[in-house]
Structure 1
Amino acid sequence: MKYLNTTAKVPIPDNVTIKIKSRVITVKGPKGEVVKDISHMPLDIKIVDSEKEEGKKEVSITRWFSNYRGRPLVKTCAGVFKNMFAGVTRGFRYKMRCVTAHFPLKIQIAKGGESVEFKNFLGGAQAKVVVMKPGVTIKMGPKIKDELVIEGVDVDYVSQTAALINQCVNVGNKDVRKFLDGIYVSEKTFQDEDAE
């Protein structure tokens, strides 16, 4: 069955500016700027006046003549816009905890938070280095020992950096029930939320 159109609307926050050119979206806010290329999505994207609130703007995402496979793409694109707006207004924060049972893991942050180095993982002599994605910073947790705090405005880059750290100190060819050593994501929040 073909649908004439499928539409989703995302309200634009007050302190955010958005620019759309050739399906390359640039969103600027108080925390920073996020640029995404969604040229692979065959969608009609416009900035329109809000029907609910006077003087407000919203992003209208429309897919014309879509079948059941094309309709979820509209909601996916709306989620991308919501994440971009949340990133530039609030910022994303991932907290990771270090778990060691056999050998203590030594963590050293280098280049002002642009890379992190892990030493003595499972007693190994080789140091493992993870370079942060653009716009992502890392620091040690202020209160908890062996906690890493990853912050940024782009949720894709923040989560990808957390995944790279997790994979860097992954135990291979061992029973994961016994060898729990590694670094795991413990909390996903926004930067403006306090842990207390």
Structure 2
Amino acid sequence: MSTEQIEKFQEVVEIPKGVTVTLKKHMLHFQGPLGKTHKNFRNIPVNIEVKDGKVILKSQGYRKRDYSILHTARSIIRNICEGLITGYTIKMKIVFAHFPITVKVQDKTVLIENFQGERSARVSRIIGNTKVVPKGEDVILTGEVWNDITQTAANIELRSKVKDKDHRVFLDGVYSYEKKKGIEK
């Protein structure tokens, strides 16, 4: 294999100013202006090195699959660094036809009450340091880690899914309609 092909299986991620990254075994610890977080790379087959304000990623193999895993790890690190500087926001809309749905936050859970007239609330889990704020017809999710925010939004959307009815007619639920960089107040 030529040196050009081997260099293809190595990526360098520049760490932005204001963010510090430390490596302990397979765990990368990030600290920035908006807070701190960590990511475990134990199950991702990539060799990681941190030096001189850069994260150096090397693939453990030389196949197409290893190449795609390398780029996934690069994207995860970039998103976390970017999130610690600017943050992310997802807006969700509460949609109902007859029974008014209310969304409440309790500890690390989101309660979707009165969904299609149900007596008990549907419960969805909040992942990581995601902040969930219900404002009238909207639910605003903010945080530093993109994966945590999108997973929390997906959990809320799945918990408010209509079952055993025609989903083209019964459109009740909580749906995301805007995703953007930056934390909205």
For residue 71 of structure 2, what is the aligned residue in structure 1? 75
- 1:43 touches 1:61 (CA, 8 Å); kept in 2? yes
Task: Tell me the number of residue pairs that the alignment of Structure 1 and Structure 2 aligns.
Answer: 182
- 1:29 touches 1:88 (CA, 8 Å); kept in 2? yes
- 2:32 touches 2:85 (CA, 8 Å); kept in 1? yes
- 1:4 touches 1:64 (CA, 8 Å); kept in 2? no
Q: CA deviation at 1:108?
A: 2.5
Q: Specify the SS of the correspondent of 1:86.
A: helix
- 1:26 touches 1:35 (CA, 8 Å); kept in 2? yes
Distance 1:125 1:193, change over 3 A: closer
The 5 A counterparts of 1:1-196 are 3-5=5-7, 6-49=9-52, 57-111=53-107, 114-141=108-135, 145-192=136-183
Q: CA deviation at 1:69?
A: 1.8
AA aligned opposite 1:165: I
Q: Matched residues in 2 for 1:192 and 1:123: separation? A: 33
Q: CA deviation at 1:115?
A: 3.0
- 2:13 touches 2:74 (CA, 8 Å); kept in 1? yes
Q: Matched residues in 1 for 2:170 and 2:182: separation? A: 32
TM-score normalized by structure 1? Answer: 0.84
Q: Deviations over 1:112-138 (max 9, x none)?
A: xx4332221111112222232231111
Q: Deviations over 1:42-87 (max 9, x none)?
A: 22222244xxxxxxx2211111541122111111110010111012
Percent of paired sites with the same residue: 28
TM-score normalized by structure 2? Answer: 0.89
Q: Matched residues in 2 for 1:192 and 1:176: separation? A: 32
Tell me which stretches of 4 or more aligned residues in structure 1 moved more than 4 Å. none
Q: Matched residues in 1 for 2:43 and 2:110: separation? A: 33
User: Hey, which of these two has a bigger chunk of helix by percent?
Assistant: 2
Q: Specify the SS of the correspondent of 1:59.
A: strand
Structure 2 spans left out of the alignment, 5+ residues: none
Q: Matched residues in 1 for 2:175 and 2:131: separation? A: 17
Q: Deviations over 1:86-108 (max 9, x none)?
A: 12111121110011112211223
